[in-house]
Structure 1
Amino acid sequence: MPASSRSELITFLAQQRPEDVLGTAECDWVDFKGAGHGAPYDLSTHKGRFELSKDVAAFANAGGGLIVCGITAKQQANELVEVARKLTPFQQSLIKIDQYKTTVDELVRPLVKVTYQWFAHPNTDEVSGHYFVLDVPGLPEAERWALVRKVLNDKDQFTEGWTIPIRHDDRTTTLSPDEAYRLINDGVRSRFALPWTTPPAPRSDPAEARQELEEHMMWQDLPVLFWQSVPQNAPELVTGLHSQDGIRGALLNQDALRPHGGFNFSLAYNAPEPYRGGLLLTDNRRAMSVAADGTVTAAALATDDMLGWGMERGFSEKGRLNVVALSEMMLEYFRLVDHKIVPAVPGVWEHRIVAVRFADEPPRKLAPGANPAFPFIGATQRASTNDWNMTWTAHGDPEQDAHEGLQRVYALFGLDAAQNPYVRAKALSTEALRAAFQ
């Protein structure tokens, strides 16, 4: 069963089902790199460094994608594109992630925050090793285009110059000189045609916002789940941010499914406070901040105090996440953000899920189905990494965006969000959750 999306492919690898990736065609969101007898990219050479940078920049220009190392793709005579045909996992010692990070940071402009992930091959097969995946985020339209600031000469050595790689279906090509000239000329004309236009304000840095919130809460050593929502065309200051009729009022008077005793960001006894020019609403186990430019950063402890509520005390399940708590909090976040905050900044928004320290001892665990008090399917699965960072373009519909968020959390545990009892089709159902409360 070929993968139909980035999140599904990641789920297959996290569940140690790499054979399910076979048959997936290379396209504008995935490229396969067979390992052969060495690493997919030889970063000891200029050519290898250029190829890595070119592939990263191409996906950044195409809305994001995966570079999957350890799976070989081939094109048959009757096919138009290359298709994943053979599993070629390799040893982790062949790749030094710091070299990948250094190469991309040095050669690609603007900076692209690639996520690097290892996935183990099943131990039961004759072959062994790991798959290495580079998850490349897409650049916002206003920040395109990514370029590689060196080119190769006829001896495969770096020389001065630059190129703009683009992803076209299953191929990586480059922007033509004529098209590059047109883009530059359009920019020059717009600059002189609108002399009164001020440049957009610097956008909030999502990573810095998470770190600042984590330090403010003193959660640096605890497992935390983050939600973030970032406007692509952020203003310097959102209109009505501190107004009772605006975002401050929305935080103070949330339309929660369960205002008292539910898993949400509604705090009956705490009011939003000024925080770094924006707002902060928090208690000792959950927090939500809204920056001056509208960027939202929310967090919840993945412990028995919040997302694992009652699992340790009630069922002796240390580290296990409560499916109701996770599902309800996921939906409540997007009910608030999609309905009350996103409309304050028109345009495209990006949502993000980040899980940190989920694999530390004792690891966070999740099972398909409902909580142990109800019928459930299968055994608990452990979180597969400590650094999980996934994004998507906002739908603006809370149930759809909550489902997107659940997909990314479940993939961290090698699970499919369809195994969540409150998912209906491609949505996290409000009605199904309401029924669970009764």
Structure 2
Amino acid sequence: MPADSMAELISLLSVKSPYAILGTPESEWVDFKSVSPKGPYDLSTDKGKFEFAKDVTAFANAGGGLIVCGFKAKKRQSELYEVAEKVTPFEKKLVNTDSYKDVLTEYVRPLLGVKFLWFDHPADDPEAAGHYFVIEVSALPDSERWALVTRGLSENGQFVKGSWTVPIRNGDSTAYLAPDEVYRLMNDGLRTRYAPAPAAAAPEPAADRAKAREDLRATLGMEETPVLFFQSAPDQPHGLLPGMYADDGLRHRLSHQDTLRPSGFNWSLAHKRPESREGGFLLSGAPRRGLLIEADGAVTAAAAATPDMLGWGMEHYNDGSGPRSRRISVFALTEMTLEYFRLVDQYVLPLTDGAWTHRVVASDFGRPPARTLGPGDDPDFPFQGSPQPATGNNWNYAWKALGDPERDAYEALRHIYALFGLDISANPFTDIDRISTAKLLEKR
């Protein structure tokens, strides 16, 4: 049965069922592309760059959508649109995602929300082999439309300097914003720019809940312990968070967390219910970890950077440079981070409208003996890898919540790795711009 939504199509690729997608028609939300020896788009030519920029921008100017590479589409006599009729998986080396990002950065305004996803073809298929490349394009908010491609294309396939175009996905094809409509929008914008308007206060970023960190640290008895904090707060608090004490509300979610593993590195405490605390909740697993939710929904979580928490299993490895207990486990760190955002992004943020800010704070990581983190996976005995010491003692960074646990976990770890002078690409559980749940679950 053909896929009838973006979520269903992605799900079929995730479970390696590409043949179930055959028969899906191209539409306002999906475009299928077969792959030439130059890849889905030949970015060595102006025409290829324009086609890619145009396709992405067209989806952004409509309702968002997927460009699914690795399927041949054809129009049947009985169909209005082209449909996916054949799987054509291909080798990953045909796509350089950095080149794709560079094209969008250079030729599209404004910068759009685009994700690049890879999916494997079933390994036991004797008829085909390779991978599928999906470009997921987010819809541009109405307040920011329209996106445009900063170049037009001549009849001989060359960029025309000084030209631009506004493509829009229309059914299974691309339309362009008419010149009359562009003229009207420009004049409307000029009139709005010069019309007097009441001054509006810009929303303030979420405050740094430093006191919540201090309170939680004291409650957990971690005053002398290096601690990694995760925090999330609404930019505009609206009083008591709805659903805190409902039968199936936040308290129930904290008591029955949907964790990746029954006994993994997470924030769930078996047989322990959250304690009511000043209109919120406290879930204490002292002296290893704990989680505090304030009345307005702000969340503070603390994990000890010790051998029985973030340094789990690392006391067996000694690189000869000092105490063995100071090394952070890559696996424990990554899973704890992802589990935090799986809990907060899925069950706390949706309880109130408005933007949220996430924050990660590493406290006392540089205090002797400094915590260390190594590139790659955790070492196998004998000791391998070159761990790097924390380069600061009070590391505090924040970003606007993305609402996607894998992407927010990536942002958190990107900042944590920088504390050790490492790039996030040194983490083996990443997948482009996110932490891969699948890769993490492969780790035993």
Match of 2:431 in 1: 386
How far apart in 2 are the matches of 1:178 and 1:287? 56
Number of aligned positions between the proteins? 313
How far apart in 2 are the matches of 1:24 and 1:138? 21
Match of 2:168 in 1: 166
How far apart in 1 are the matches of 2:25 and 2:302? 38
3-state secondary structure, aligned to 1:160: coil
How far apart in 2 are the matches of 1:299 and 1:177? 53
Structure 1 pair 136–217 and aligned structure 2 pair: CA distance change class (3 A): farther
Higher relative contact order structure (alpha carbons within 8 Å, sequence separation ≥ 6): 1
Q: Structure 1 length normalisation: TM-score?
A: 0.57
How far apart in 2 are the matches of 1:67 and 1:290? 43
Structure 1 pair 285–386 and aligned structure 2 pair: CA distance change class (3 A): farther
Among 186, 193, 202, which residue is 2:188 paired with? 186
C-alpha contact 1:105 1:111 (8 A) present in aligned 2 = yes
Structure 1 pair 177–201 and aligned structure 2 pair: CA distance change class (3 A): farther
Match of 1:33 in 2: 33
3-state secondary structure, aligned to 2:403: strand
Match of 1:342 in 2: 353
Q: Measure how far apart 1:155 and its partner are.
A: 2.4
Give structure 2 stretches of 5+ with no counterpart: 207-212, 214-225, 258-266, 268-272, 311-330, 357-400, 411-427
Counterparts of 1:37-436 in structure 2 under 5 Å?
37-125=37-125, 126-158=127-159, 159-193=161-195, 195-198=196-199, 201=202, 218=228, 238=236, 241=237, 246-247=238-239, 249-250=240-241, 255=246, 256=249, 258=251, 262-263=255-256, 268=275, 284=289, 336-339=348-351, 341-342=352-353, 352-355=403-406, 386=431
C-alpha contact 1:115 1:389 (8 A) present in aligned 2 = no
3-state secondary structure, aligned to 2:255: coil
C-alpha contact 2:255 2:274 (8 A) present in aligned 1 = no
String of CA shifts for 1:343-386, please: whole Å, max 9, x gaps.
Answer: 899xxxx9732316999xxxxxxxxxxxxxxxxxxxxxxx9963
Structure 1 pair 251–288 and aligned structure 2 pair: CA distance change class (3 A): farther
Q: Measure how far apart 1:113 and its partner are.
A: 2.8
Q: Percent identity?
A: 39
Give structure 1 stretches of 5+ with no counterpart: 206-212, 230-236, 274-280, 307-317, 360-382, 391-407, 414-438
Equivalent residue letter for 1:386:
D
Structure 1 pair 354–259 and aligned structure 2 pair: CA distance change class (3 A): closer
C-alpha contact 2:108 2:147 (8 A) present in aligned 1 = yes
Q: Structure 2 length normalisation: TM-score?
A: 0.57
Q: Measure how far apart 1:56 and its partner are.
A: 0.7
How far apart in 2 are the matches of 1:290 and 1:112? 35
Q: CA RMSD in A?
A: 5.1
Q: Measure how far apart 1:77 and its partner are.
A: 2.1
Q: After TM superposition, which residue ranges in structure 1, 4 or more long, deviate above 3 angstroms?
A: 197-205, 216-219, 226-229, 251-261, 263-273, 281-291, 296-301, 332-339, 356-359, 383-390
Equivalent residue letter for 1:42:
D
C-alpha contact 1:3 1:24 (8 A) present in aligned 2 = yes
How far apart in 2 are the matches of 1:298 and 1:21? 43
Structure 1 pair 197–86 and aligned structure 2 pair: CA distance change class (3 A): farther
